[in-house]
Amino acid sequence: MPSQFEVETKGYAPPLQAWIDWILSGHDAEGLHAQLDDNVTFMSPVVFTPQKGAYITFAYLMAASEALGGNAGVFKYVRIFDCGQRAVLEFETEINGKYVNGVDMIEWSDEGKIVDFKVMVRPLQAVQAVHASMGAVLQKMQSAAKEG
């Protein structure tokens, strides 16, 4: 996923810095796995119930990295609020011509693992675009898993 930051990319609390470094490194699967607590909770703007566990959270975050950065859009963080073991990162991107603005709210354990990840998106047309794009990427991932 192409990404750029409109904010500083160094000097944050270690767990947040690890997340930013992962974004900048190109989203390798191993790097994401290493950051997730086994019992992480993931909350999506397009899924009604919280998703529990590293496996499902990994799938959603990898799909989001493709869905939110795909097409001609460039995913970028525009504001970061670093609160030690908690952070709020505001992002912008574009999906199929629709402006997407949202926040990632992340909480880490004492061991620096992500234990809570919540995504909120606005406006309504952006939520609909994210839903469609994420659905397509997750379907593609599911089909590839069945074949392999």
pLDDT by residue, tens only, the chain of 148 residues: 456 788 899 999 999 999 999 988 877 889 999 999 999 999 988 888 999 999 999 988 988 887 777 544 588 999 999 999 999 999 998 888 889 999 999 999 999 999 999 999 998 888 888 888 777 777 776 676 677 6
Query: What are the distances in angstroms from CA 76 to CA 6, 50, 91, 103?
Result: 7, 25, 5, 11
pTM: 0.87
- Return the number of other C-beta atoms located less than 10 Å from residue 70's C-beta: 18
Q: Measure the CA–CA gap between 77 and 103, rounded to whole angstroms.
A: 9
**How many angstroms separate the CA atoms of 91 and 61, rounded?**
14
What's the pLDDT score for residue 146? 72
| pLDDT (0 to 100) of residue 70 | 54
Distance CA 139, CA 30 (A): 22
Q: Which residues contact 146 (CB under 8 A, 6 or more apart)?
A: none
The pLDDT assigned to 140 comes to: 75
User: Among 144, 135, 145, 142, which residue's Cα sits nearest to residue 64?
Assistant: 135
pLDDT of residue 81: 97
Question: Please, are residues 76 and 93 in contact by the beta-carbon 8 Å criterion?
Answer: yes
